[in-house]
């Protein structure tokens, strides 16, 4: 499946693991990682734990200790399929909450509680109630980059990987799609559905501009430009393709462009470069400070101390889970 990769279990084959990241991790840096990698692999066995890692995690996490990697949609789907007793989220808080919603009986850990998201912080359940009052009868489609409380106030969730299909499948002329204004405007343009949105932005993707893409094409003639749909519409319009992180990976894997620019978070290019030796990655990219809260040392500590456990207020579990499950039913 695109964007999902199940990694083999230990014993600790340090050389084999380093071979996976050699192209993007210098030997000196690897020397500093090796002990934590070995400890994490052993702790996962002891704790009966799996690590789910988002595509924006650094290569030593993504390629060397994660059991399952992918975009938000893949991580939500795969979280439901694991038999492990403990799930550690190498990603941001809303991803850990989604894993907990789908696995109420498992222990879900996030190594750093500060791993938030500017989109999730932009909207509250009260804002959704006001939107419903202003637009009676219009369904509320909520991006997974939101809190469980916001999901609980919604009709259905979506990710950048399925938003277009979900909006179209609702079969209505008007939809409330929150909280990412740019994602909503990009979907409105693609589907022709009237979309009421919110003023949330991803602090990484909002910074890219069409001028930057133009300059990139001038300095690298023939470069293929792939943009995340959280970018402003003029950036998406200037790109060759727009899609979720898994869709970008799929594009690179299939088309093997000679030169590609992934208009998104920086680790995405590193992770793809490790696997695609014939593709040159040009990097106008942005660092997500929240994703970068997660480190090998943090993952090790999380498994040693079984912190920080993610919990969800009991009254939110059923309605928030229902919104996620409606999405997964697609």
- Which spans of this chain sit near ligand 13P (rule: CB under 6 A)? 55, 71-72, 145, 159-161, 202, 228, 230, 244-245
Considering only residues 136-195, where is the footprint of ligand SF4 by CB under 6 A?
145
Closest CB to ligand SF4 among residues 37, 117: 117
Considering only residues 208-237, where is the footprint of ligand SF4 by CB under 6 A?
230
Residue 52 binds ligand SF4, judged by CB under 6 A: no
Residue 117 binds ligand SF4, judged by CB under 6 A: yes
Give me the residues paired with residue 6 across strands.
68
Site string for ligand SF4, 261-290 (x = CB under 6 A): ----x----------------------x-x
Query: From residue 105, how far is each of 85, 126, 177, 312 by CA, in Å?
Result: 8, 29, 31, 12
Contacts of 72 (CB under 8 A, 6+ apart): 54, 95, 98, 144, 145, 159, 160, 161, 244
C-beta separation of 207 from 286 below 8 A: yes
Closest CB to ligand 13P among residues 38, 70: 70
Residue 203 binds ligand SF4, judged by CB under 6 A: yes
Closest CB to ligand 13P among residues 224, 244: 244
| 72 contact, one of ligand SF4, ligand 13P, none, CB 5-8 Å limit per kind | ligand 13P
CA dihedral 151, 152, 153, 155 (to 10 degrees): 70
Question: Smallest distance, Å, CB 314 to ligand SF4?
Answer: 26
Question: Smallest distance, Å, CB 219 to ligand 13P?
Answer: 25
CB atoms within 10 A of CB 259: 15
Give me the residues paired with residue 55 across strands.
none
Residue 90 binds ligand SF4, judged by CB under 6 A: no
Residue in 140, 152, 242, 291 binding ligand SF4, rule: CB under 6 A = 291
Question: Smallest distance, Å, CB 122 to ligand 13P?
Answer: 13
How far is Cα 324 from Cα 102, in angstroms, rounded to an integer? 8
Query: From residue 240, how far is each of 159, 217, 260 by CA, in Å?
Result: 20, 11, 10
| DSSP category for residue 67 | S
Sign of torsion over alpha carbons 162, 164, 168, 173: positive
Which chain residues interact with ligand SF4 by CB under 6 A?
92, 117-119, 145, 202-204, 230, 265, 288, 290-291
């Amino acid at each position: 499946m695109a964007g999902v990769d199940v990694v083999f279990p230990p014993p600790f084959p340090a050389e084999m693991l380093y071979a996976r990241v050699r192209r993007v991790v210098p030997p000196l840096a690897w020397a500093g990682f090796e002990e934590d990698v070995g400890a994490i692999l052993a702790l996962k066995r002891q704790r009966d734990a799996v690590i789910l890692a988002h595509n924006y995690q650094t290569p030593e996490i993504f390629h060397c200790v994660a059991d399952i990697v992918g975009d938000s949609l893949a991580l939500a789907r795969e979280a439901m399929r694991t038999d492990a007793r403990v799930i550690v989220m190498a990603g941001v808080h809303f991803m850990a909450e989604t894993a907990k919603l789908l696995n109420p009986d498992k222990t879900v850990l996030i190594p750093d509680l500060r791993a938030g998201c500017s989109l999730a912080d932009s909207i509250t359940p009260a804002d959704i109630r006001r939107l419903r009052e202003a637009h009676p009868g219009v369904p509320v489609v909520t991006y997974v980059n939101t809190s469980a409380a916001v999901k609980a106030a919604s009709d259905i969730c979506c990710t950048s990987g399925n938003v277009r299909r979900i909006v179209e499948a609702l079969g209505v002329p008007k939809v409330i799609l929150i909280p990412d204004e740019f994602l909503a405007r990009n979907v409105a343009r693609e589907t022709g559905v009237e979309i009421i949105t919110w003023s949330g932005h991803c602090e990484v993707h909002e910074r890219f501009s069409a001028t930057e893409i133009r300059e990139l094409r001038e300095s690298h003639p023939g470069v293929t430009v792939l943009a995340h749909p959280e970018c402003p519409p003029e950036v998406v319009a200037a790109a060759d393709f727009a899609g979720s992180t898994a869709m970008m990976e799929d594009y690179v894997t299939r088309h093997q462009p000679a030169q590609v620019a992934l208009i998104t978070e920086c680790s995405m290019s590193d992770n793809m470069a490790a696997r695609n030796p014939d593709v040159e990655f040009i990097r106008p990219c942005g660092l997500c400070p929240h994703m970068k809260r997660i480190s090998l040392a943090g993952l090790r500590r999380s498994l040693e101390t079984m912190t920080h456990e993610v919990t969800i207020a009991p009254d939110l579990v059923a309605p928030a889970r229902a919104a996620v499950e409606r999405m997964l039913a697609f």
